[in-house]
Amino acid sequence: MDAEDREVIESLLISHPLAASEDGRLPDEGLIAGYVEGRLTPEMHSAVEAQLLASTEGRALVAELSSILERRDGQGAPALLERRGSWRALAIAAVLLLGVGAWLYATGAFRSEADPGPDARLLTAAAALTRHAPALFDDFRPLGAGERAGGTADVLRGGIQAYLPQGRTLEARPTFRWRPVAGATRYDVEVLDDRGGVVYAVSSTGSQVDYAADHESLERGRTYVWEVSTDEGPLGRVTGRRSFHVASEAEAARFEQARRQIAEHAPQDLRAVLLSHVAIRWGLLATAERLVEERLQQSPADEVASQTRSYLHRVLGLARGD
């Protein structure tokens, strides 16, 4: 990229709404120009990328450029001319096609079909979802490689590690899962409402139990606490507990809308992972785990699905083999 190209790109970035953010979360045009050219240190490159993807304006620009580049075969300039209604649009289109296309390649948003990279494809799919359904996906960001490598659970000293449900659940009849206690052969599970009253009770000889189909389901939109206990621990009675929120009808419907949008607009091999990442962002951890497990049964070599499962297991505190 020569000096003239840099000047045009910097002018475009200055004029774009991206550079006019008032919340201070977006990088300035100098940093973005350095990002385009690959002049930044790896740490600064990651920081600028994170700022762009974490903001509404940044994601909107990526989505806009994605739309333009998708139509670039003889249509990019006319599309912009129609939208901008000025001679300057042609120059902007040229910059987008020649300069910012390289920028999107550098960010991982676009690469050649021969080498797309899983995270680049996830970002591209997320940008497309933002275009098609901004009310659902405007604040959505897939889990990046660094985030998938992290994840920690609450530290539990003593007692039983209660796994699921926790956070939010779509199921009004959830499955209860916990870490088994050595030597225990019976567990008692109780579900308490916000007044401390027991609304459901069941026993199990294993480390999980389903909510009975013939029992009245839990009420949507309410928060509960579930407890699991056994008298057969090495130190006598041990107990574990978790709170969880049963998704309201509106929350469940919103997730179904997200599912439909992903089924319609995302590549087939990314749908399960994208939906699991939406579930994680919305606190639907049991749903997220089920989605990645189903994906790995179909495609055991899916690296992102495997990393997402490992992340969920760490967040949930699941022991290997549980």
| pLDDT tens readout for residues 263-277 | 999 999 999 999 999
Structural domain harbouring 198:
162-245
Q: CATH no. for residue 170?
A: 2.60.40.1220
Percent of the chain at pLDDT > 90 equals 48
Judge contact between 67 and 83, C-beta under 8 A.
no
Q: What pLDDT shows up at residue 15?
A: 45
- Can you give the pLDDT at residue 100? 45
What would the mean pLDDT of 28-43 be, rounded to a whole number?
A: 55
Could you tell me if 16 and 94 lie in one domain?
Answer: yes
Confidence grade of residue 58 (pLDDT, cut at 50, 70, 90): low
Return d(Cα 109, Cα 107) in angstroms, integer: 5
C-alpha span between 198 and 166 (Å, rounded): 18
Range list of H helices, 88-216: 88-95, 101-107, 118-132, 134-137, 145-148
> What does the chain come to in residues?
322
- Looking at the structure of the chain, the number of domains it has is 2
pLDDT at 20: 40
Q: What's the pLDDT score for residue 22?
A: 40
Residue 142 carries which DSSP code? P
Within-domain flag for 149: no
At 76, list the tokens: 């990019």
Selected residue with higher pLDDT from 224 and 61: 224
Is residue 42 in some structural domain? Answer: yes
C-alpha 223, offset from chain centre? 23
Q: Which helix (H) or strand (E) holds 140?
A: none
What's the average model confidence in pLDDT over 209-232? 94
102 and 11 assigned to the same domain: yes
321 within domain boundaries: no
* φ, ψ dihedrals at 158, nearest 5°: 80, 165
| Domain finish residue from 245, 278, 310 | 245
Give the pLDDT score at 18.
42
Of 129, 103, 105, 102, the C-alpha closest to 117 is: 105
Mean pLDDT in the chain? 75
For residue 106, tell me if it sits in a domain.
Answer: yes
Cβ atoms of residues 239 and 199 within 8 Å: no
